Amino acid sequence: DAMVIQNPRYQVTQFGKPVTLSCSQTLNHNVMYWYQQKSSQAPKLLFHYYDKDFNNEADTPDNFQSRRPNTSFCFLDIRSPGLGDAAMYLCATSRAGPDTQYFGPGTRLTVL
Amino acid sequence: RKEVEQDPGPFNVPEGATVAFNCTYSNSASQSFFWYRQDCRKEPKLLMSVYSSGNEDGRFTAQLNRASQYISLLIRDSKLSDSATYLCVVNNAGNNRKLIWGLGTSLAVNP
């Protein structure tokens, strides 16, 4: 089945220790997104790739970086996690244009 | 004014009830509209896209009123498994690849 996969599902890190979250897709979609979602809040877009074109949101902290080495994979790097970065991180994909976004199961990040 | 507004609820209804959720959006240039469902601690999943003519999928009916910039979702014959948060989502008219999310409406269906 075509899908969006995220690894790991749960990640525990220490304050300030870099962490990388992974997303892969078999949908062959052009666009890949990273969202941060905290409890009782809507998903907050951090950035997205349209093919290799990176689009950062104006309010995404510099602490968050992303890489997309090929169509299938996209990574979220958090360089120095703070306690406020504890959240669910959601990867999504879509075809180009105003299309439905399909989400992976998310990675729940805990910062100690 | 928020770009996408929803009543946060919670809505508590008995099984079998009909429940309606409403959503308003601020940008009249928006073109695509969706309802997503999110279970506790899970990812959002597309429930249905919303078309100008209205659309129905089983017990779920979505309506769009462009003149009033208003979207609705009607759930008939509620099931326990319908308990979730329902997110109203609208495309960003300035950038078609981006979506604008409502905060969601929480529904609890009780036995």
pLDDT of residue B100: 92
pLDDT of residue B2: 80
Nearest Cα to Cα of residue A22 among A34, A30, A31: A34
Q: Is the pLDDT of residue A82 over 90?
A: yes
Between strands A31-37 and A44-50, the pairing is antiparallel
Tell me which chain B residue has its CA closest to the CA of residue A90: B43
Instruction: Give tens-digit pLDDT for A88-102.
Output: 999 999 987 667 899
Residue A28, Ramachandran bin (φ over 0: left; ψ between -120 and 50: alpha; else beta):
left
Of the candidates B45, B102, B103, the beta carbon closest to that of A103 is on B45
> Residue B8: pLDDT above 90?
no
Contact A98 B91 (CB under 8 A): yes
CB within 8 Å: A103 and B43:
yes
Of B94, B101, B1, B107, nearest to B44 by C-alpha is B101
pLDDT digits (tens, 9 = 90+) for A22-80: 999 999 999 999 999 999 899 999 999 999 999 999 999 999 999 999 999 999 999 99
- For the cut 70, the answer to whether the pLDDT of residue A1 exceeds it is no
Per-residue pLDDT at A96? 77
pLDDT of A98: 66
Closest to B78 in 3D by CA, of B11, B8, B5, B33? B11
CA distance A41 to chain B (A): 6
Q: Is B81 helix (H, G, I), strand (E, B) or coil?
A: helix
Half-sphere exposure of B5 (CA within 13 A, CB side): 9
Provide the pLDDT for residue B64: 95
| Residue B89 near residue B38, CB atoms below 8 Å | no
Distance from C-alpha of A52 to C-alpha of A22, rounded to nearest angstrom = 17
The H or E element spanning position A67 is strand A64-67
Question: Quick one: what percent of chain B has pLDDT higher than 90?
Answer: 77
Give just the sign of the alpha carbon dihedral A111, B46, B33, B64. Answer: negative
pLDDT band at A8 (very low <50, low <70, confident <90, very high): very high
pLDDT tens figures, B73-99: 999 999 999 999 999 999 887 777 789
Mean pLDDT of chain B, nearest integer: 92
Highest mean pLDDT among A12-16, B53-57, B98-102: A12-16
The pLDDT, as a whole number, for residue A97 is 67
Q: pLDDT by residue (tens digit) across B27-50?
A: 988 888 999 999 999 999 999 999
Does any CB of chain A come closer than 8 Å to the CB of residue B96? yes
